[in-house]
């Protein structure tokens, strides 16, 4: 099969289009013929080697974290899916590889594709949808009437998180450029801060939750918009000791992550707020719940651009520029 592989770690290194074997199928796997693959900043960060300390793939490996396609084979222990099912997924860490014609995925990571979406639209959802859900519902326990600040509202996670937070009954503030203001308002944002003109910390206060996706400076400023008891949840780091514990890392890496997050945790403690880091994980059952929200019209995908399979490197470069409104997708089949 054709696939885009990372031959060696390196910043902005081009992926190589290669002929590789079709993946072997484990007993609890399904083999998916890939029709479309979402492109994420995470792909670029893994290629660049940013996550090697705790998520190290041995080159050459196939990149890609979002997929929509059709089941063409099932393992002997698979019970939830059958040949011909249209599915979507974010394959679990250690088994990524959606920039390809086929992928083997554990059935626990998969859900049936929303019937009202194209393959390209479906492929845009898994990673950002799971991230938003795990932050806002599972970690923040966001409730009706609370206030949440979602950074970078026109980005992939932002466009999904705004809609989910609004569905939960929260008041939603976000940052966006003037050109993206109408988009984020149409998704449900109540307050939009033009980050090119204004500083959000001067305009927002007494928030219950902040979803941070930006740099260290923005992370620290976010502490000042939270009320006592609020929650600052970052998907861009730094990782905290709880995350290190979940991964079962060795003592050296645990100490490294403790040191990396020590400053922000201390500042959060002084501000009487809670800091935590989230690195999303694959959850097929949760993705099935997202499917129901999409099919009912509560959440809609936002796609900036669709590239051909041959243009996968161009798609990755476009995502790295940081100006995409919503998601970028590669059409494989």
Nearest to 265 by CA among 240, 302, 228, 235: 240
Largest CA distance in the chain: 58
Q: Does residue 54 share a domain with residue 22?
A: yes
Considering only residues 252 and 63, tell me which one the structure prediction assigns the higher pLDDT: 63
Same domain, residue pair 54 and 71: yes
* pLDDT value at residue 258: 85
8 Å CB contact between 233 and 211: yes
**Do 29 and 113 share a domain, yes or no?**
yes
**291 assigned to some structural domain:** no
**Model confidence at 52: pLDDT above 90:** no
Residue 156: inside a domain: yes
| Pairwise CA distance, residues 255 & 249, whole Å | 10
- The angle that helices 41-48 and 312-320 make with each other, rounded to 10 degrees, is 100
Domain that holds residue 8: 2-125+301-331
Give the span between the Cα atoms of 265 and 325, in whole angstroms: 31
> Quick one: 140 and 252 in the same domain?
yes
User: Is the distance from CB of 22 to CB of 102 less than 8 angstroms?
Assistant: yes
Six token digits for residue 262:
């020590």
Beta bridge partners of 73: 31
pLDDT at 260: 86
The string of pLDDT tens digits covering residues 276-324 is 999 999 999 999 999 999 999 999 999 999 999 999 999 999 999 998 9
Average pLDDT on 115-142 reads 98
The whole-number pLDDT of residue 299 equals 98
Question: What mean pLDDT is reported for the chain?
Answer: 96
Same domain membership, residue 320 and residue 229: no
pLDDT digits (tens, 9 = 90+) for 141-188: 999 999 999 999 999 999 999 999 999 999 999 999 999 999 999 999
- Provide the pLDDT for residue 254: 83
Contact 86, 266 (CB under 8 A): no
Pairing of β 110-112 and β 86-89:
antiparallel
Same domain, 149 and 273: yes
State whether 9 and 61 are in the same domain.
yes
The H-or-E segment that residue 258 falls in is helix 251-270
* CATH classification at residue 75: 3.90.180.10
What is the count of structural domains for the chain? 2
Would you call 47 helix, strand, or coil by DSSP? helix
What DSSP assignment string belongs to 113-145? PPTTS-HHHHHTSHHHHHHHHIIIIIIS---TT
Whether 94 maps to a domain, the answer reads yes
Amino acid 292: pLDDT: 98
Same domain? 67 vs 155: no
pLDDT attached to residue 328: 98
Say if residue 241's pLDDT is above 90. Answer: no
pLDDT of residue 194: 97
Q: Which two tokens stand for residue 128?
A: 């950002």
pLDDT at 173: 98
| Domain shared by 139 and 271, yes or no | yes
Question: By C-alpha distance, which of 5, 39, 55, 31 is closest to 105?
Answer: 31
Q: Tell me, yes or no, whether 114 and 139 share the same domain.
A: no
Contacts for 113 with CB less than 8 Å, ≥ 6 apart: 68, 86, 87, 88, 119, 122, 291
Helices and strands per DSSP (H, E), number in the chain = 10, 16
Residue 326 lies in a domain: yes
What CA–CA distance (Å, rounded) separates 191 from 4?
40
Rg (CA), the chain: 19
Both 136 and 121 in one domain: the answer is no
pLDDT higher than 90, residue 244: no
């Amino acid at each position: 099969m054709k696939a885009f592989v990372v031959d060696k770690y390196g910043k902005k290194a081009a992926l190589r289009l290669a002929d590789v074997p079709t993946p072997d199928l484990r007993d609890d796997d399904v083999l998916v013929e890939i029709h479309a693959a979402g492109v994420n900043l995470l792909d670029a960060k893994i290629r660049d080697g940013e996550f090697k300390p705790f998520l190290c793939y041995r080159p050459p490996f196939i990149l890609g974290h979002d997929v929509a396609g059709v089941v063409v084979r099932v393992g002997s222990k698979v019970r939830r899916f059958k040949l011909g099912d249209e599915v979507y997924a974010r394959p679990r860490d250690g088994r990524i590889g959606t920039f390809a014609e086929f992928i083997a995925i554990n059935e626990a990571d998969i859900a049936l594709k929303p019937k009202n979406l194209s393959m390209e639209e479906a492929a845009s959802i898994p990673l950002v949808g799971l991230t938003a859900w795990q932050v806002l519902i599972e970690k923040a326990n966001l409730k009706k009437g609370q206030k949440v600040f979602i950074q970078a509202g026109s980005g992939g996670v932002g466009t999904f998180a705004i809609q989910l937070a609004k569905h939960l009954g929260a008041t939603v503030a976000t940052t966006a450029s003037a050109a993206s203001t109408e988009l984020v308002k149409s998704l449900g944002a109540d307050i939009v801060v033009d980050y090119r003109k204004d500083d959000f910390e001067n305009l927002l206060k007494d928030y219950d939750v902040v979803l941070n996706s930006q740099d260290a400076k923005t992370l620290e400023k976010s502490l000042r918009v939270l009320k006592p008891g609020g929650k600052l949840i970052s998907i861009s780091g730094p990782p905290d000791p709880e995350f290190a514990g979940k991964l079962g890392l060795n003592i050296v890496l645990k100490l490294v992550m403790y040191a990396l997050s020590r400053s922000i945790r201390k500042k959060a403690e002084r501000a009487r707020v809670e800091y935590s880091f989230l690195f999303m994980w694959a959850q097929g059952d949760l993705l099935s719940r997202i499917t129901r929200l999409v099919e009912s019209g509560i959440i809609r995908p936002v796609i900036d651009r669709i590239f051909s399979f041959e243009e996968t490197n161009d798609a990755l470069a476009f995502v790295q520029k940081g100006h995409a409104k919503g998601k970028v997708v590669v059409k494989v089949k």
